């Protein structure tokens, strides 16, 4: 499976698996089914009334057409790069530079759907997604974005690294860490690994900033020393509390 390295604003690199073409197509089909269902329900509910009062064209052009046209743009921009179809397949849109996606990025991706999907019946999207190194269609190339799996294979990796097999191995110290996401734990682990492998000023700064941010989220004072041990304990706590 192809993967991509995303470097965050803290100069920390995270590896993500690129979404399979199969998953992207299935997500698209799920979204089509949802759109069709919504349009059908609206038609059943309002079209008889619209026909009676002669504003059926208003219903079509001002209600149904915008739903069909802007469905993807609205969901991706409001739901962190995911439509309901992408949520179901656990994939999402990300910027290849690691920064947060902006509305203009989603708008650019959406605009190129006209060529990628609609006018070419998906052929352009399929060919480019299969052949480009980062699995990008025209919209992805234009907006510098791609689609990745939103849930990396984190649990196995953490178990292998930390060798936690049962809850008897570790007593949690920070119970609120269970509210974090697996991606947060992956970021912590990658930060530790990068600091140990390179140990330069940028990774030292990233380690300090991450420690301060995590401590703030937990409502505790950040440790002045043994920051790596603190972060490792958080990962252990997370595994014990969520597995």
Tens-level pLDDT at each residue, the chain (243 residues): 677 777 655 555 567 889 999 999 999 999 999 999 998 888 787 767 666 666 666 667 777 889 999 999 999 999 999 999 999 999 999 999 888 899 999 999 999 999 999 999 999 999 999 999 999 999 999 999 999 988 654 444 555 445 544 445 567 888 899 888 888 888 888 888 888 877 788 888 888 999 999 999 999 998 888 888 899 889 888 888 877
Q: Is 183 found in the same domain as 130?
A: no
Domain hosting 180: range is 154-242
Q: Is 212 found in the same domain as 116?
A: no
Least Cα distance to 25 among 88, 102, 112, 104 occurs for: 88
- Can you give the pLDDT at residue 97? 86
Q: Is 113 found in the same domain as 58?
A: yes
Q: Is 198 found in the same domain as 93?
A: no
- Can you give the pLDDT at residue 157? 52
- Can you give the pLDDT at residue 69? 92
- Can you give the pLDDT at residue 29? 96
Q: Is 141 found in the same domain as 70?
A: yes
Q: Is 7 found in the same domain as 103?
A: yes
CA distance 26 to 31: 9
Contact 12, 206 (CB under 8 A): yes
Q: Is 135 found in the same domain as 187?
A: no
- Can you give the pLDDT at residue 146? 95
- Can you give the pLDDT at residue 8? 59
- Can you give the pLDDT at residue 155? 42
Q: How many domains are there within the chain? A: 2
Residue at which a domain ends, from 91, 120, 149: 149
Q: Is 53 found in the same domain as 126?
A: yes
Q: Which long-range contacts (C-beta less than 8 Å, at least 24 apart) are formed by 205-212? A: 205/10, 205/11, 206/10, 206/11, 206/12, 207/231, 209/10, 210/10, 210/12
Q: Is 88 found in the same domain as 184?
A: no
Q: Is 158 found in the same domain as 141?
A: no
- Can you give the pLDDT at residue 50? 63
Integer-rounded Cα Rg, in Å, for the chain is 22
- Can you give the pLDDT at residue 153? 46
Q: Is 55 found in the same domain as 138?
A: yes
Q: Is 132 found in the same domain as 105?
A: yes
Residue at which a domain ends, from 124, 149, 174: 149
Residue at which a domain ends, from 130, 149, 168: 149
Other C-beta atoms lying within 10 Å of the C-beta of residue 159: 13
């Amino acid at each position: 499976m192809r993967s991509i390295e995303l470097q965050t604003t803290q100069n920390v690199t995270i590896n993500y698996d690129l979404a399979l073409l199969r998953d992207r197509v299935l997500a698209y089909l799920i979204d089509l089914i949802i759109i069709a269902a919504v349009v059908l329900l609206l038609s059943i509910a309002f079209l008889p009334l619209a026909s009676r009062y002669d504003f059926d064209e208003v219903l079509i052009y001002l209600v149904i057409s915008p739903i069909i046209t802007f469905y993807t743009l609205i969901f991706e921009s409001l739901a962190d790069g995911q439509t309901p179809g992408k949520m179901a397949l656990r994939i999402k849109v990300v910027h290849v530079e690691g920064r947060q996606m902006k509305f203009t990025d989603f708008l650019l991706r959406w605009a190129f759907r006209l060529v990628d999907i609609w006018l070419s019946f998906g052929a352009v999207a399929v060919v480019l997604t299969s052949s480009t190194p980062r699995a990008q269609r025209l919209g992805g190339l234009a907006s510098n974005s791609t689609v990745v799996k939103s849930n990396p294979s984190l649990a196995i990796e953490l178990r292998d690294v930390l060798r936690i097999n049962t809850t008897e191995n570790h007593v949690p110290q920070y119970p609120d860490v269970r509210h974090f996401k697996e991606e947060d734990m992956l970021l912590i682990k990658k930060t530790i690994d990068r600091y140990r492998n390179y140990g330069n000023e940028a990774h030292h700064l990233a380690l300090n900033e991450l420690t301060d941010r995590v401590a703030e989220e937990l409502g505790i004072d950040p440790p002045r020393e043994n920051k790596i041990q603190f972060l490792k304990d958080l990962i252990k706590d997370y595994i014990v509390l969520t597995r």
